[in-house]
Chains A and B, each alone.
Chain A
Amino acid sequence: MDTFVQQLINGLTIGSIYALIALGYTMVYGILRLINFAHGDIYMVGAYAGFFIATAMGFAVNPSAFGFVVTLVGAMAIAAALGMAIERFAYRPVRKYSKMTTLITAIGMSLLIEYLFIFIFSPTPRSFPQLLPVENFTLFGNATISTSQIMIFVISLLLMGLLQWIIYKTKIGKAMRAVSFNITSAKLMGINTNFVIAFTFALGSALAAAGGVLTAQYNPKIDPLMGIITGLKAFVAAVLGGIGNIPGAVLGGLLIGAAETLVVGYGSYVGIPSTYRDAVAFAILIIVLLVRPAGLLGSNVQEKV
């Protein structure tokens, strides 16, 4: 029993990270119908930004809650700025052409960020400093939870709550919903759509960066290609939950995280080796899409072709 609880804790920890990243995918898709493939790399940039802030400000030597918060917020701000810059200089100029053009730009952007980071910061993995003292708490039996895991749960919940509040209780949130409903009508109603889109990118990127810093606290190895597979799984999580649907992204992230950990933990009993963890995430996606093409929480809208 304690093993099962432990696996669930492990799974939900990485699931929360997937959820944070998936939110960015889903928001951008909801507004622009664009899969922002560079999003996983923003998560990586967030982790690197956190690394440099923590090292430059000396938080690495004196762990403190203050240092952690400054690192987290700083990384989120840098990523938000980068997200807006990418939108402004890469996606906006090609937005007037077909969707495919923007999509390919996004793939190019992703590769550009990855290899630029390899070029500038070298491909050698870096060790992220421990910003908060690590402690393990025993729940019962052998099941333990560490401070970094608790941080991941608490901060993701806070951020998701904050996001929900922004979208449903603020003026800019209302504008975001309007733009996602129909961008042309929103424009006719006097909404500055370019600003709303830039804001969405900033919001999504900040969440991804938070995911990056939190992951780096939990698992302190960061390298320029760390965003590829994590980003891909977060994308699967977004589609699984129903792309464009915000609670769906959270649900999808937690499900993928829990599923892959349980496969590793118990798959061998039913003949699935632990290396199939990623395959399982994608198998779940295929099954869900066959049964519910719009995703678990997505609304089934007939698209006019």
Chain B
Amino acid sequence: MTRVFLSLSLIFSVLFTFACVDKGANTAVAPTGDTIRIGVYGDTTGATSSFGVSTKNGIQLAFEEINAAGGVNGKKLEMIFEDDQGTPEKAKTVISKLINQDKVVAVLGEVASSNSLAAAPVAQEAKIPMITPSSTNPKVTEVGDYISRVCFIDPFQGSVMAKFAANTLKAKTAAILGDNSSDYSKGLTQFFEEEFTKLGGKVITKQTYAQRDQDFKGQLTAMRGQNPDVIYIPGYYGEVAIIARQARELGMNMPLLGGDGWDSPDLFKLGGAALKNAYISNHYSADNPAPEIQNFVKTYTAKFGAAPDSLAALAYDSAKVLADAIKRAGGTDSSKLKEAINATKGFAGVTGTITLDGSRNAVKPAVVLELAPADSKFTFKETIYPEGMTPPATTAASNSNAMNSNSNMMNTNTNMNSAAANTNTNKASNATK
């Protein structure tokens, strides 16, 4: 009797397995119906969860707007979201799931460069276009021609802050405290140091930490002995806030500098008043009075109850760029879609005008924001332009506040050109070693 039961259950389980496989095969055909499936992946439950939440919100808003206006080529866009908990291994798993199981036609994500780097080869191999909204490490798009981004890259971002430290803050010496577990941070460390040294400054000490570290007083105390003019901390908000607190506790009151990884509503909750006298480079400023930006800020705030950070804005732009490319490609054929994305030119997004260069990176200006912990917000300080882009109104929707493009900045601009070009070609490949 037992044997009969066993063999019966065996047969059923085999049948069931086949049934599942069959079902999987069916759904593979289904999406060619009335929706276009777009995969989105990000960290909504890990150490950088505000990044994933902002990204998801930004894309959701963009899709809703597009669908409300009739969709793309008469079809609605459908977001399929997967959480990767902020780890590269998971990022790789979820992108495989999105591509192989959900049969998405394109993928949007990740924020952290290390996660994008882990996932990109999967997309490249499957020939599914992937647009990362906000991974700034140059290596990401070097993975292949199916990978592109709508943000600037770290050689530029690192040089922006070096420029700001040397020219605006008149710093002569700098210390760097980087996150050794992130490609983003390692890249920025390198590019900041190169540019700062070129401008006659000196990086007197470099220290590192790992994500999820809680105590940074060891590194900070070692730095305090050398008394740098500024400290550059190219990390993510969770650790940065605590670093700022511990630095101030040790009586280190010099300016703290960072990148877009600081941009999170949680930064001020964790860091508090310690974040005074701190500056970051970022993709856009919510203060920008341009109507298209204010409009976006208003809709987003009404929908999600918080002002959009730059990650939300970039995600929103990446979704719009993708929709635009699908329209131009006349469908979702992956090769045609890839060509259309890579040919994106002069697309007016909320983070500036997006034109992809030959390496599928967006060339855009960066803004320097000052942290105002009293109001928990970032206030606009100045705009710094990359090579070949001029401050005047030719780039209508860019982040420039016209009044700020004074002669000092023009000077900044010229020096920037050679630096960006140089780092772009020669040094970029060292970034993630």
Chain A residues in contact with chain B, CB under 8 A?
Answer: 3, 6-7, 10-11, 13-14, 118, 122-127, 134, 136, 142, 144, 146, 215, 219-221, 223, 225-226, 229-230, 260-266, 268, 273-275, 277-278
Contacts and interface: CB of A to CB of B under 8 A. Distances in A.
B242 A3 contact: no
A261 B213 CA distance: 12
A273 B214 contact: no
A11 to B, nearest CB: 7
Interface string B201-223: 00000011110101101110110
Question: Max chain B CB contacts within 10 Å: which of A126, A223, A266, A278?
Answer: A223
Given A3-B222, A11-B218, A125 B180 contact: no
B249 A146 contact: yes
Nearest to B271: A127
A230 to B, nearest CB: 7
Contacts of B272: 127
A264 B218 contact: yes
Nearest to A226: B214
A264 B222 contact: yes
Interface centre among B217, B238, B246 (most CB of A within 10 A): B217
Interface residues of B, number: 33
A263 B215 CA distance: 13
Given A123-B46, A125-B266, A219-B246, A142 B218 contact: no
A273 B208 contact: yes
Contacts of B269: 126-127
Contacts of A263: 218
Contact of B45 (A123, A142, A262): A123
B221 A6 contact: yes
Contact of A220 (B207, B209, B217, B245): B245
Contact of A144 (B208, B245, B250): B250
15 contacts: A6-B224, A10-B215, A11-B218, A123-B46, A124-B266, A125-B270, A126-B269, A127-B270, A146-B249, A219-B246, A220-B242, A221-B242, A260-B218, A265-B219, A275-B180
Contacts of A221: 214, 238, 241-242, 270
B77 to A, nearest CB: 28
A14 B215 contact: yes
Contacts of A230: 214
Given A118-B45, A142-B251, A273-B208, A265 B222 contact: yes
A132 to B, nearest CB: 14
A264 B242 contact: no
Contacts of A260: 218
Nearest to A146: B249
Contacts of B218: 7, 10-11, 260-265, 274, 277
B50 interface: yes
Specify the main secondary structure of chain B where it touches its partner: helix
Contacts of A7: 218, 221-222
B285 to A, nearest CB: 24
B305 interface: no
Contacts of B270: 125, 127, 220-221
A122 B43 CA distance: 12
A13 B241 CA distance: 20
Given A14-B215, A144-B250, A3 B241 contact: no
A208 to B, nearest CB: 15
Contact of B215 (A3, A142, A146, A219): A219
Interface of B: 45-47, 49-50, 180-181, 207-210, 212, 214-215, 217-219, 221-222, 224-225, 238, 241-242, 245-246, 249-251, 266, 269-270, 272
A200 to B, nearest CB: 28
A100 B297 CA distance: 56
A294 B119 CA distance: 45
Contact of A3 (B207, B221, B249): B221
A223 B215 CA distance: 14
Nearest to B181: A275
Contacts of B50: 124
Given A124-B266, A125-B238, A125-B266, A274 B208 contact: yes
Given A7-B221, A10-B217, A146-B249, 20 more contacts: A6-B221, A6-B250, A10-B215, A10-B218, A123-B47, A125-B266, A125-B270, A142-B251, A215-B214, A219-B242, A226-B214, A229-B212, A264-B222, A266-B222, A274-B207, A274-B209, A274-B219, A275-B208, A275-B210, A278-B210
**Closest 9 A/B residue pairs (Cβ):** A264-B218, A10-B217, A275-B180, A261-B218, A123-B45, A3-B225, A275-B208, A6-B221, A265-B222
Contacts of A265: 218-219, 221-222
B209 A275 contact: yes
Contacts of B238: 125, 221, 223
B101 to A, nearest CB: 23
Contacts of B209: 274-275
A3 B224 CA distance: 8
A84 B237 CA distance: 37
Contact of A264 (B45, B212, B219): B219
Nearest to A14: B215
A217 to B, nearest CB: 12
Nearest to B251: A144
A13 B249 CA distance: 14
A268 B204 CA distance: 13
A232 B272 CA distance: 30
A90 to B, nearest CB: 25
Contacts of A122: 45, 49
A185 to B, nearest CB: 43
Contacts of A277: 218
Nearest to B178: A275
Contacts of A144: 249-251
